[in-house]
Amino acid sequence: MASRSRRKRRDGTTSEREWKVSVAMTRTAPATAQISTDPVTLEVFSNRIQNLMKLMTSTLENLAGTLVGRESGDYSTALLDRDGATIAFGSMVGFHLGHMTSVVPWIYENLGRENVRPGDMYLSNDPYSGGAVHSNDVGVFAPIFVDDELVGWTGCDMHCMDVGGALPGSFVPNALDVVAEACRFTPVRIYSGGEYRPDVVRAFLTNTRLPERVGQDISAEVGANHYGLKIVEETVREFGTERYLQLVEDVKAFSEARTRQRIKEELVDGVYEYVDYEEHDFVSHTIYPIRVRLTVSGSELFFDFSGTAKQAPSLINCARSGLKGAVMAALLMQLVPDIPFNAGVMRPVHVFSEGGTINDCSPPAPVSLATAMAAWRTIDSVSGILTRAVDASPSEFLRERATACWGGTWPVYVLSTPSDQYGQYSVFLNMDGSGEGSGALRGIDGARGSSVLLAGRVPSVEAHELTEPNLYISRRIWQDSAGAGKWRGGWSFQEAITPWGEKTADQSGTFAIARNAIPTPGAFGGYPGSGIFYGVLEGVDIEGHVGRGHLPSWDDLGVDTDLEILEAKEVWEGRRQLRKGKDVLVLSFAAGGGFGDPLERDPERVRTDVEEGIVSVEAASSLYGVDLVQGDEGKFEFNPGRVEERRSALRAERLAGAE
């Protein structure tokens, strides 16, 4: 839901009464000097530090102890300057940008900049000190000293499978405050002057149900930081400390200049408005609007979230770090995908919030589902308003980045069992959320298996079954999930799983559901993509099918006829039990919205979608106005003249319905 006004706000500001809180997007001042580095050296340096991010992420992947790090990409790395501002970002999860730039300033303010020493390393997972979006985001940060001079910081952040709290997985729907959700550490040294502090790490791991796995993930972050420290020290020694620090400033100044140029020359001055909604707080069916107004003025952007709903009584909120990260993530995807992303990009960007809202909540509001709810919905809102702004751009490069909403959230479910296939207590979070569909773009159909996590991946079935006590019965294209449009949204998939393994016991599940009642929006006449659905089939004879040498088909399961669909409130009213080999959990992931009127879609594309199983014959007729018949060779065919007749009839139906 959006509108755009061409009214130009000359100074890009409003009254202090309207904008209650200014959210600092970067701690570094605008560039005041000319870039002193020649373009070739600057490009070489920029690519070197970006390559460092790739090396740190690959190190983290190779050392991680869970699917989160090894397979799904729910982690990020960063290189920061001496003040904690971004120099380079390993862009795996966009909204990690917000809190990864907040940790170092918190350390300086609360622990003292003068007390940071060579060999220190800090752990943090507290959303309210800026160290996380939710407490499962465990970060490790290390200062970089060369010859006893501080030159910057490295940092890693990874979702850890369990960090304590009332329920396995640390998503607690009935928590009244953040204290009840999880164990939280404000930034604390786990290495002090190069000496490992096992007492601190042990204190953290004592509060998790999975100390070995979480401990291995933290060790992976430590290892990635050590690698980053080594590479940066080598770089500083190659260029010299003074030259390195100047290169850092010049890289940021370059990105600032490019960003300001893009805003000034390629966006139209004016005021743009958009609203998206969170449809459930798991206490009541309350609608929470996230409103944003974008003012484009000269070379600067002003995002005003005034009018956003007040914070919720449950876990769907996000703190300020989530708000910051959401804005950064959307800008990275749509406005500056070709500009080195660092603190310079954010210097022309201003964010204002009233505070105490669903996406800028005040303590002690619960936030354990912040990533999948308020922070993610804020990305959707900012992306929606940027789509309106770039669509009005004179730049073809930007207009091509107008997009319908992407899948819209991560389908969170956590299963736990006292005995997995290896006879051990186990907690596992489904990491298949990147299997949602992307929104369609102008001129491009949405992609399958794409997520606003930027580099998220869907773990293989084999990886799941090796580490989790589950049998994956099937994955399939979720037919008709993609939002219809001139350019179709990306389709999502369905999967069916059941507890499995000789030593596996029955499982208990905690489920989150969003983008259910309010699906992923389309753009400019495009239809919404499908939302998220959970369903349970009870009393299925899985062992009988396996004993006969095959897994049950979707028809055998009766998914399309007998599936019990769980509503949002029902999902949360109790932890669901899944019986080994008898109960089947079916998940349907969110799909991308469509772009443009589906009655303008090329009929040949519709025919191809039907042949590939993405669109049904019925939807081809009712949504796209293309009546298909199957020929003698099994291929689908259509009559072009009949297409125009059918589409004219559908347009007439629309007009009649609008009266």
Confidence check: pLDDT of 278 > 70: yes
- Is the distance from CB of 20 to CB of 310 less than 8 angstroms? no
Q: Which residues does residue 75 pair with via DSSP β-bridges, in sequence order?
A: 158
d(CA 152, CA 248): 10
pLDDT band at 21 (very low <50, low <70, confident <90, very high): low
Whether pTM > 0.95 for this model: the answer is no
pLDDT at 353: 97
d(CA 249, CA 36): 10
pLDDT band at 20 (very low <50, low <70, confident <90, very high): very low
Residue range 467-489: average pLDDT? 94
Q: Which residues does residue 414 pair with via DSSP β-bridges, in sequence order?
A: 429, 510
Confidence check: pLDDT of 366 > 70: yes
Confidence check: pLDDT of 3 > 50: no
d(CA 61, CA 493): 25
β-sheet with 349-353: strand ranges across = 2-5, 270-278, 288-297, 300-304, 349-353, 21-23
Confidence check: pLDDT of 575 > 90: no
635-656 CB burial, b ≥16 within 10 A, e <16: ebebeeeebeebbeebeeeeee
3-state secondary structure 539-553: CCCHHHHHHCCCCCC
Residue range 509-519: average pLDDT? 82
- Is the distance from CB of 378 to CB of 359 less than 8 angstroms? yes
Residue range 19-39: average pLDDT? 65
User: Residue 118: is the preceding peptide bond cis (ω within 30°)?
Assistant: no
pLDDT at 14: 37
d(CA 521, CA 380): 9
pLDDT at 65: 87
pLDDT at 17: 30
What is the residue extent of each domain of the chain?
A: 30-257, 403-598, 602-658
Residue with structure tokens 């930007």? 398
Is residue 463 within a helix (H) or strand (E), and if so which, with residue range?
Answer: helix 461-467
Residue 273 tokens, joined: 């408005």
Q: Which residues does residue 417 pair with via DSSP β-bridges, in sequence order?
A: 426
pLDDT band at 567 (very low <50, low <70, confident <90, very high): low
Enumerate the H helices of 490-548 as residue ranges: 542-547
Residue range 449-478: average pLDDT? 83
Comparing 579 with 271, the larger pLDDT belongs to 271
pLDDT band at 571 (very low <50, low <70, confident <90, very high): low
Closest CA to 173 of 363, 374, 314: 314
Closest CA to 294 of 30, 95, 5: 5
- Among the listed ranges 73-77, 100-104, 125-129, 179-183, which one has the minimum average pLDDT value? 73-77
- Among the listed ranges 352-361, 390-399, 510-519, which one has the minimum average pLDDT value? 510-519
Is residue 608 within a helix (H) or strand (E), and if so which, with residue range?
Answer: helix 603-611
Confidence check: pLDDT of 618 > 80: yes
Per-residue model confidence as pLDDT tens digits over 71-91: 888 899 999 999 999 999 986
pLDDT band at 23 (very low <50, low <70, confident <90, very high): low
Percent pLDDT > 90 in the chain is: 71
Q: Find all residues with CB under 8 Å of 239, minimum gap 6, and list them.
A: 45, 247
Percent pLDDT > 70 in the chain is: 92
**CA 264 to mean position of chain CA atoms:** 29
Backbone angles phi, psi at 49, to 5 degrees: -70, -30
pLDDT at 283: 81
DSSP assigned state of 304: E
Residue 597 tokens, joined: 């009127």
Per-residue model confidence as pLDDT tens digits over 585-597: 998 899 999 999 9
d(CA 94, CA 454): 6
What does pLDDT average to over the chain? 90
d(CA 302, CA 349): 6
End-to-end CA distance of the chain: 21
Classify strands 270-278 and 195-196 as parallel, antiparallel or unpaired: unpaired
Residue with structure tokens 């773009």? 441
Residue range 525-544: average pLDDT? 90
- Among the listed ranges 6-10, 314-318, 361-365, 507-511, which one has the minimum average pLDDT value? 6-10
Backbone angles phi, psi at 40, to 5 degrees: -65, -50
Confidence check: pLDDT of 556 > 50: yes
Rg (CA), the chain: 25
d(CA 123, CA 131): 9
Confidence check: pLDDT of 27 > 80: no
Residue range 5-30: average pLDDT? 45
- Among the listed ranges 53-57, 449-453, 655-659, which one has the minimum average pLDDT value? 449-453
d(CA 511, CA 231): 42
Residue range 140-155: average pLDDT? 98
Residue range 100-120: average pLDDT? 97
Residue 534 tokens, joined: 């959970």
d(CA 453, CA 472): 24
Per-residue model confidence as pLDDT tens digits over 209-222: 999 999 999 999 99
pLDDT band at 533 (very low <50, low <70, confident <90, very high): confident
Residue range 381-408: average pLDDT? 95
**Burial bucket for residue 16 (CB in 10 Å: 0-12, 13-18, 19+):** exposed
**Burial bucket for residue 207 (CB in 10 Å: 0-12, 13-18, 19+):** middle
Residue range 382-396: average pLDDT? 97
pLDDT at 450: 66
d(CA 172, CA 178): 9
pLDDT at 4: 42
pLDDT band at 237 (very low <50, low <70, confident <90, very high): very high
Long-range contact set of residues 57-60: C-beta below 8 Å, sequence gap at least 24: 57/90, 57/92, 57/224, 59/220, 59/223, 59/224, 59/227, 60/156, 60/158, 60/220, 60/221, 60/223, 60/224
d(CA 557, CA 538): 10
